[in-house]
Amino acid sequence: MKNLVEVKNIKKNYGKNEAVKGISFNIKEDEILGLLGPNGSGKTTTIGMLLGLLKPTSGEILINGQKLEGNRIEILEQINFISPYIELPKKLSVKQNLTVYGKLYKINNINERIEFLSEKLRLGGLLNSITGELSSGQKNRVSLAKALINEPKVLLLDEPTASLDPEVGDFVRSFLEDYKKEKKISILLASHNMNEVTRLCKSILMMKDGIIIDKGNPEELINKHGRKNLEEVFLKLSRSKNELN
Amino acid sequence: MYGLFLRHFYLITRSFPRVLDLVYWPTIQITLWGFISNFFATHTTYYNNAVGVILTCAILYDFLFRTSIGFNMLFLEEIWSRNFTNLFIAPMKIGEILTSLVATALIRALIGLIPAVLLTSPLFGISILDLGIFLFFLFLSLYLFGITLGILVSAGLLRYGPSFENIAWSTMFLLAPFGCIYYPIEILPELFQKIAYLLPLVYIFEEARNILINQTVDIQNIYNAFIWNGVYFILSIALFYYSFNVAKKKGTLINMGE
């Protein structure tokens, strides 16, 4: 499996504050990589750099073999992002929003694509609804449809199931698993939901204070730290002094 | 009660734009209306020959205002709706974003302008079309300056984030006294005149009055307006690109969506 995402020793400083202190990792195709860490550990900054919204102070990011620096537009065509902190325009209908983003991502058969996604994400009856009037679960599925409108090779997910009820959360997780398997895409999943990470991710990066303090698959990490589950591993690492493993 | 007072007091003291906002509006209003009052007190017969000059200038100024605010609104709407990040991770070049905003701002301004132009005739017996073919050049010049201001403010929003919003609303009013919209430039103090001559507005409104009152056309005014528009337009584009790069370094783009 080839690496769709290659992150090479990226650093990000805001003045004297070092938000990310030189981290490296790869994400293979057909892989979901979990990015864990307490608030302020550098996860959002890392995602921002992968999206080209932040310029790394140093280091290099390659997406599908292309350097992000200097190829931002070509790379943005191949990636997408979902976060509970960003929304789609509330006054537009679901279909209007998806059409707008279909156009922005230069999708040829927008209607077909919307139809496909609405079927997969159970949006059929919602296409003419006003986005701002939808429930959290419905909005989440619409945002997911927007994030998949361009058939991204790399999908960045920041807390994709935050504030969802267990049923919708489970639906979204199952959908992501199936979609990743079917399309062989790479997914970076930043989440505080340890059950979700355990279920979806074969490999995990634990970040703290801008560095990767541990990595491995969930089972390995649980055994290595002698804990019962990933949540306990997270708590142990979050409360410990930084140590590179 | 004191708690609620403190809540707003802390907000004001922590935000320079908010303090500026409090001082800014009374100062601008007093300055603008001071010049207008002064002009009418000393030039009571100036507008005798051309009823509707003030109204025509008001429509022209409103077009400028709508264009500029319209551009800013397009940008601010994306921030308010938390859609900003979605837009900036879409594969769009900065030039494409600006071009689409510029075109949309024109449509918005025209939607506001057309009813105003149509209403002046039946209500006041005045037609802005009296400016003739040169009306097109005046509008074009105002449109250019309007979007230039919009781009400058959007550059500020990119660079400083949503706290720059108050400035977005007030740029037009800051320029109003220097624009000589309702009075000739001679009414301004010498220093203000020097500043006014660096703006395209003074040439546009002087020419509008010249056409309506003197029934003559001074091409030099229109030419000067376009020259200054070109200078500011190029500067605004350069500043927007610069702000985008600074925002990428400082992280404003990623915070804007949250």
Residue A244 has what pLDDT? 47
Residue B49 has what pLDDT? 53
Q: What is the dihedral of CA B239, B240, B242, B247, to 10 degrees?
A: 140
Boundaries of every domain in chain B: 17-256
B-chain residues near A55 (CB < 8 A): 245, 248-249
Question: Environment class of residue A52 by beta-carbon count within 10 Å: exposed (0-12), middle (13-18) or buried (19+)?
Answer: buried
d(CA B193, CA B55): 23
Residue B130 has what pLDDT? 75
Answer yes or no: are the C-beta atoms of B135 and B120 closer than 8 Å. no
Look-up of token digits 């001082």: B23
Whether chain B has a CB inside 8 Å of the CB on A173: the answer is no
Residuewise pLDDT in 10s, chain B (258 residues): 777 877 777 777 776 766 776 776 667 667 777 777 777 767 766 666 555 788 888 888 888 988 888 888 888 888 888 888 999 999 999 999 999 999 998 888 888 788 877 877 777 777 777 778 888 999 999 999 999 999 999 999 998 887 787 777 777 778 888 888 888 898 899 999 999 999 999 999 999 989 888 888 999 999 999 999 999 999 999 999 999 999 999 888 886 644
d(CA A159, CA B118): 53
Mutation target among A53, A76, A88, A97 for the B interface, most CBs of B within 10 A: A53
Whether chain B has a CB inside 8 Å of the CB on A103: the answer is no
A-chain residues near B248 (CB < 8 A): 52-55
As given in the structure block, the two tokens for residue A93 are 């209908």
Residue B32 has what pLDDT? 72
The angle subtended at Cα B93 by Cα B88 and Cα B94, nearest 5°, is 75
Backbone phi, psi, residue A4, to 5°? -90, -25
Q: Say if the Cβ atoms of A81 and B89 lie within 8 Å.
A: yes
How far apart are the CA of B162 and the nearest CA of chain A, in angstroms? 15
As given in the structure block, the two tokens for residue A94 are 């679901």
Residues in chain B: 258
Residue A231's CB is within 10 A of a number of other CB atoms, namely 16
B-chain residues near A61 (CB < 8 A): none
Helix axes B134-160, B53-80, angle to 10 degrees: 30
* Cα–Cα distance list, A29 to A4, A98, A178, A195, A236 (Å): 6, 26, 14, 23, 30
Summarize pLDDT for A166-183 with one digit per residue, the tens.
888 999 999 999 999 999
Coil, strand, or helix at residue B239?
helix
d(CA B220, CA B207): 9
Residue B183 has what pLDDT? 86
Which residue segments constitute the domains of chain A, with CATH numbers given?
1-78+153-245 (3.40.50.300), 87-151 (no CATH)
As given in the structure block, the two tokens for residue A98 are 């998806």
Residue B27 has what pLDDT? 72
Mutation target among A54, A82, A154 for the B interface, most CBs of B within 10 A: A54
What type of residue sits at position A121?
L
For residue A37, pLDDT beyond 50: yes
Q: What is the edge-to-edge ordering of all strands in the sheet holding A3-14?
A: A17-28, A3-14, A58-63, A66-67
A-chain residues near B90 (CB < 8 A): 76, 101, 104-105
Q: Estimate to the nearest angstrom the gap between the alpha carbon of A110 and the chain centroid.
A: 23
Residue of A54, A76, A90 lying closest to B90 (CB–CB): A76
* Nearest alpha carbon to residue A180 among A21, A68, A33, A23: A33
Chain B contacts in chain A segment 16-75 (CB below 8 A): 44-45, 48, 51-55, 73-74
Question: Environment class of residue B194 by beta-carbon count within 10 Å: exposed (0-12), middle (13-18) or buried (19+)?
Answer: exposed
d(CA B206, CA B204): 6
Whether chain B has a CB inside 8 Å of the CB on A155: the answer is no
Residue A197 has what pLDDT? 94
Answer yes or no: are the C-beta atoms of A194 and A37 closer than 8 Å. no
Return the half-sphere exposure (C-beta side, CA atoms, 13 A cut-off) of residue A56. Answer: 26
Q: Say if the Cβ atoms of B254 and A87 lie within 8 Å.
A: no
Summarize pLDDT for A179-197 with one digit per residue, the tens.
999 999 999 999 999 999 9
* Nearest alpha carbon to residue A7 among A207, A191, A192, A176: A207
Residue B257 has what pLDDT? 47
Helix axes A94-104, A110-120, angle to 10 degrees: 130
* Nearest alpha carbon to residue A108 among A77, A130, A129, A81: A77
